[in-house]
Amino acid sequence: MIICIFDIDHTLYRASTVRSFLPYALRKGVLPFRFLLALPFYSILFFIRGVGSDLIGKEFRTMRGISQERMKAAARISYIRKIRPGLDPRILEEIEKQRNTGSKILLASSSFYPVIEPLVTDIAPDAVIATDIDFENGFSTGIIRVLPPFREGKKLRVLEYLKAMGTSPISCMFFTDHHDDLPLLNIVGRPVAVNPTRRLRQIAAKRGWEIFDTQNNIHKRNHHD
């Protein structure tokens, strides 16, 4: 079984889904002001230290009380007006190409699941891995129940999924733009750097990985193929 894994931000979608969502969330009054103040801090914290199992069960009070219904409404609007028009047609074509060959499609993103849920409904992958928000009685609890799929966390979440599917990373393709995804890129059978960051481009070229420049429609195949 071949599983094709696609990152979302700056890969399938040409920008950040969360940043595209925020203006609509603000207009709808979805996110509390304390969350917006804390977001840059948490982003820097996770960037520096990464994510680990110690986060499971931890409560982030700034994320408490977010309305699930309002968040879904803002996500639908941001998807229709901003995200869907910004999807990369080359990556959409690649998804359909791989789907038509019988491969399973897995979307793996560190974005919040409620933010990308309309995209997931539209693309209809076989599975999705994202940063979950725990809701109870229609409002967020602020408790992290599942490891966020960032850096090593994404690798671990994907490995967990592959184990459940009875397959290994060697049978996988992974399309992504960022060197933060190196933990997963390093273990899949076919890594593909899509419009990569400068660092990832250098690493991909050195290791003979595929480089897919969708803007110029240039797909450099692995020199070992």
**CA dihedral (221, 222, 224, 225) positive or negative:** negative
The residue with greater pLDDT, 35 or 15, is: 15
Per-domain boundaries in the chain: 3-220
**3.40.50.150, 2.50.20.10, 3.40.50.1000, 3.90.1150.10: CATH of 3-220:** 3.40.50.1000
47-57: pLDDT as tens digits: 666 666 677 78
User: What is this structure's pTM?
Assistant: 0.91
Burial of 176 (0-12, 13-18, 19+ CB in 10 A): buried
Mean pLDDT lowest among 77-81, 118-122, 138-142, 216-220: 216-220
Share of the chain above pLDDT 90, in %: 75
Q: Which two tokens stand for residue 29?
A: 């009054």
The residue with greater pLDDT, 126 or 33, is: 126
Residue 225 binned pLDDT confidence (cut-offs 50, 70, 90): very low
The residue with greater pLDDT, 162 or 27, is: 162
Share of the chain above pLDDT 70, in %: 91
Mean pLDDT lowest among 8-12, 41-45, 202-206: 41-45
pLDDT for 195 equals: 97
pLDDT for 215 equals: 86
Query: Do residues 148 and 47 make contact, with C-beta atoms less than 8 angstroms apart?
Result: no
Query: Do residues 105 and 11 make contact, with C-beta atoms less than 8 angstroms apart?
Result: no
pLDDT for 101 equals: 96
Residue 29 has pLDDT above 60, yes or no: yes
Alpha-helical (H) ranges within the chain are 17-27, 33-49, 68-78, 89-100, 113-123, 152-165, 182-185, 198-207
Rounded CA separation 40/92 (Å): 31
If DSSP codes are grouped into helix, strand and coil, which group holds residue 10?
coil
